[in-house]
Amino acid sequence: MVNLLVDLDERRFGAEALAGALRGIEAAGYAATCGYSAGRDGGSLGAWIDDVFGGTWSSEADAGTSVVASRPDGDYAGFATYDPKGLQFRWLRGLGALPDVGIFGPFGVAPEHRKSGIGPHLLVAALASLKKRGYDRALVPAVGEEKLVEYYTRHAGARVVETFDKREFFAHRYRTLVLASGNGSNFQAVLEASREGRLPLDVTAVLCNRPGAYVFERAEAASVRAMPVVWNRPAEARATFDRRLLEAVRDVEPELVLLLGWMHLFDDAFVRQFGERTINIHPAYLPLDQTEDVVCVPDRGDGYGQQPAFRGAHAVRDALAAGAKWTGATAHMLGAATDRGRVLVRKAVRLPEGADPAAAIELLRPVEQKVVAGGIMRWVYER
């Protein structure tokens, strides 16, 4: 993996270059919009990015401003984000932290539009927009393919300035505690991925608040320490249980806590101590803006619509009861409010006609496992 640097000289990336790049997009038959916020139009750009590219790009685009190329029917064809703020990836802490260096990306063109020629125009328009904001140089981070290095060199004059190996992120295995309340299929997937070297984790223990849950059998079969911490509601005050739970987690001394089907809300003391190292998987497609109660979904063939953000313990059931077309999975950091932590990775899933809760949950299972793995790796990349 390499970081590339582009010198934003006036001749190549000045005001005339910006205007020319936008004209180039329009000449190819697309509408060009500069200064586009990912939250504009109810979050449809983010929904499109997730649908076409996946990964973490929608949240990265949401942190910056984009140049967007759209088809005559209004659907998106490509985008280039510039000047994202607040990203925590380790590879942005060198040159990317200097005040005269602006961050470029993410950047993508939908497969069906890649022969249109809009890609280089989007690239130049975003770099010129960084120049317009007063940056002297632009960092193109975490480029992993030689052909992409050649692309940025050819179209932007980029050069390699920093090199790193993603295997470095696997040098440390994070001591991990899983909290689960049921079957434990996501626990099983994380455990197998960690033992096969696909996730840099040492899954040390499982804590469960339901006696007899199948996750205990999975843990025993894998020789992972399993700890029941059960709340006897008639006999124990909520505050007392919360203290017991916090102590049980502290005793493991985890570097990372994974909530994989955990069905219990945490008190403020837990959030304060473990919130920045706790990832939750939620069976719904949640908005990037944690204050929003609706989310834009990628209704293929019907544009982009909105539906409620199904938070809480019964998200799948509630989505089906509401007649929603979409469900999904979101990996997010633990926050003070239920299912409103910072989104790491999310994926929307179309619900088939007539699906019942069991069928919907089964449909979600492999998606959840991929989203969990993506969320873990983003957390690792941010250490």
> Is the domain of 149 the same as that of 239?
no
Are 43 and 139 a contacting pair, CB within 8 Å?
Answer: no
3-state percent helix, strand, coil for the chain, nearest multiple of 5: 40, 25, 35
Please identify, among 132, 164, 196, the residue that sits at the C-terminal boundary of a domain: 164
**Percent over 90 (pLDDT), the chain:** 85
Grade residue 55 by pLDDT with cuts at 50, 70 and 90: confident
Query: At residue 70, does pLDDT exceed 70?
Result: yes
| 178 and 128 together in one domain | no
Contact yes or no for 357/319 (Cβ under 8 A): no
User: Do 309 and 194 share a structural domain?
Assistant: yes
Same domain, 318 and 360: yes
Confidence band, pLDDT 50/70/90 cuts, at residue 40:
low
Q: What is the pLDDT of residues 310-368, one digit of tens each?
A: 998 899 999 999 999 999 999 999 998 888 999 999 999 999 888 888 899 999 999 99
H helix or E strand, kind and range, residue 125: helix 118-132
Which string of b and e fits 244-262 if b means at least 16 CB within 10 Å? ebbebbeebebbbbbbbbb
**155 and 302 inside one domain:** no
Answer yes or no: do 122 and 240 share one domain: no
Averaged pLDDT for residues 42-46: 88
Q: What is the pLDDT of residues 245-296, one digit of tens each?
A: 999 999 999 999 999 999 888 999 999 999 999 999 999 999 999 999 999 9
pLDDT tens sequence across 99-146 = 999 999 999 999 999 999 999 999 999 999 999 999 999 999 999 999
191 and 282 together in one domain = yes
Higher pLDDT, residue 177 or 54: 177
- Report residue 96 as tokens: 């990317």
**Alpha-carbon gap, residue 37 to 348, rounded angstroms:** 21
Q: Say yes or no: 214 and 342 in one domain.
A: yes
pLDDT, tens only, 153-192? 999 999 999 999 989 999 999 999 999 998 999 999 999 9
| From 40-44, 139-143, 228-232, 343-347, the region with the lowest mean pLDDT | 40-44
Q: Which residues constitute the domain of residue 127?
A: 2-164
Domain end: 164, 187, 203, which one? 164
Q: What is the CATH number of the domain that holds 242?
A: 3.40.50.170
pLDDT at 354: 85
Identify whether the C-beta of residue 144 lies closer than 8 Å to the C-beta of residue 167: no
- Are 362 and 310 members of one domain? yes
CATH of the domain at 27: 3.40.630.30
Query: Which residue type sits at 204?
Result: T
Of the candidates 114, 146, 164, which is a domain's last residue? 164
| pLDDT score of 303 | 58
Cα-based distances in Å from 56 to 47, 63, 381: 12, 11, 12
Q: Do both 80 and 191 map to the same domain?
A: no
Count of structural domains, the chain: 2
Say yes or no: 14 and 125 in one domain: yes
**Residue 89 pLDDT more than 90?**
yes
Indicate if 74 and 144 belong to the same structural domain. Answer: yes
Place of tokens 């927009």: 129
Q: Residue 302 pLDDT > 70, yes or no? A: no
326: Cα within 13 Å, side-chain hemisphere: 25
How far does CA 187 lie from the centroid of its chain?
20
d(C-alpha 322, C-alpha 233), whole Å: 31
What number is the average pLDDT over the span 225-234? 90
